[in-house]
Amino acid sequence: MKRLTSIEIESLTPYAPGKPIEELERELGISGSIKLASNENPIGPSPKGIAAIAGHVKNLHRYPDGAAHYLKAAISEKFGCSASEIILGNGSNELLDIIVRTFLLEGEEAIFAEPSFVVYKMSTQAAGRKGISVPLKDGRHDLLAMADAVNDRTKIIFIANPNNPTGTINTREEMYAFMARVPGDAIVVLDEAYFEYVVNPEYPDMFRYLRDGRNIIALRTFSKIYGLAGLRIGYGFAPARLVDLMNRVRAPFNTNSLAQAAAMAALGDDEHVKESVRVNEEGKKYLYAELTRMGVDYLPTQANFIWIDLHKDARVVYDALLRKGVIVRPMGPTQIRVTIGLPAENERFVKALAER
């Protein structure tokens, strides 16, 4: 792996996390803020996950199961795949980094959409590799253009489905046409962090390509619908031969014991998932209606957030909302992304946006 020079490291743009709510309130002299910036589950973590944590605290003097045997077995049973096709990470972010460090060799390139999840670009640049960005088309991955961008140096193609930050998806038919054009030696990374929120019946089944033996890695997470973002645990599916290579690069004990226990319990918490989807769908309908009433442009979403184009300086609007105690995410010159919250949070956002 190429080592970056100090100048190259200084040129990297670090991920910019939001400040703690308490610090923002102290700086602005406000209280009672709501955070609609990070696509977190507004109803909170899985109750079964919380209960599982309590039962494991007494064992914190022990190292976690480095192979995550029981969690892999639970994932394997739920999705009908082999445990050898599963890899775990400290959030799916770590898995993205592992993928790049394992497979993107010197002289090889990665392709990703723009705008999409910023970590694809960050991991590629941090490894000293070249990334090719392909603009979205109507807020969605332009899979035909991404296929056209493939060359003999292409090794990895990142696709967020649903896409973050736009919340859009690519359909089963579109993915089928795309995969038919992708060379067999290229690795397609499907980031499905929000797949549980999708209600569109045309959403593709990535297991089709896994069963066909394609070079595909599908990433999922316990951070979003399961509400375990603070524990940092994600998982991925890939052919066993790719998982074996990634495990050679993965750091030992990369998922902690509390995260493993909570994830395994949350995986069976169907009631929490169902309620999370219900709250999201109701909030989505409310926000659609209110944004339409205000004449604000947005993209229909299949995730738990909405991409909004204000057609004015997004930073100015962000600051105005912030001073009203409503924290959203500025995403472009005129765009913001807002997480779909609880009913009272959605109403407060709409009121603050109308008063901006």
The answer to whether 215 and 190 have CB atoms below 8 angstroms apart is no
Mean pLDDT to the nearest integer, 114-130: 96
Domains 16-44+270-354 and 47-266 fall in the same CATH topology: no
φ/ψ bin of 102: left (φ > 0), alpha (ψ from -120 to 50), beta (otherwise): alpha
- Calpha distance 206→217 (Å, rounded): 9
Provide the whole-model pTM.
0.93
List all residues 6 or more positions away from 33 whose beta carbon is below 8 Å from its beta carbon. Answer: 21, 24, 25, 325, 326, 327
Q: What is the dihedral of CA 310, 313, 318, 320, to 10 degrees?
A: -100
- Calpha distance 345→226 (Å, rounded): 20
Residue 148's SS3 state is helix
Determine the pLDDT at residue 1: 55
**Is the CATH number of domain 47-266 3.40.50.720?**
no
Mean pLDDT to the nearest integer, 242-259: 97
DSSP-derived secondary structure for 9-24: HHHS----PPPPHHHH
Whether the pLDDT of residue 329 is over 70: the answer is yes
Q: Tens of pLDDT along 62-102?
A: 999 999 999 999 999 999 999 999 999 999 999 999 999 99
- Calpha distance 256→317 (Å, rounded): 39
Mean pLDDT to the nearest integer, 175-180: 96
Domain range summary for the chain, segments of one domain joined by +: 16-44+270-354, 47-266
DSSP-derived secondary structure for 42-96: TT-S-HHHHHHHHHHGGGTTSPP-TT-HHHHHHHHHHHT--GGGEEEESHHHHHH
Q: Tens of pLDDT along 4-34?
A: 665 555 565 666 666 677 777 777 778 789 9
CATH number, span 16-44+270-354: 3.90.1150.10
Residue 229's SS3 state is helix
Amino acid at 52: A
Q: Which residue stretches of the chain are H helix? A: 6-11, 21-28, 47-56, 69-79, 91-103, 118-126, 143-148, 172-181, 207-211, 240-249, 257-266, 270-294, 314-323, 343-354
Phi and psi, residue 259, nearest 5°? -65, -45
Determine the pLDDT at residue 3: 63
Determine the pLDDT at residue 15: 60
Residue 235's SS3 state is strand
The tokens describing 195, both together, are: 């797949």
Question: From the CB of residue 31, how many other CB atoms can be counted at a distance below 10 Å?
Answer: 10
Phi and psi, residue 257, nearest 5°? -65, -35
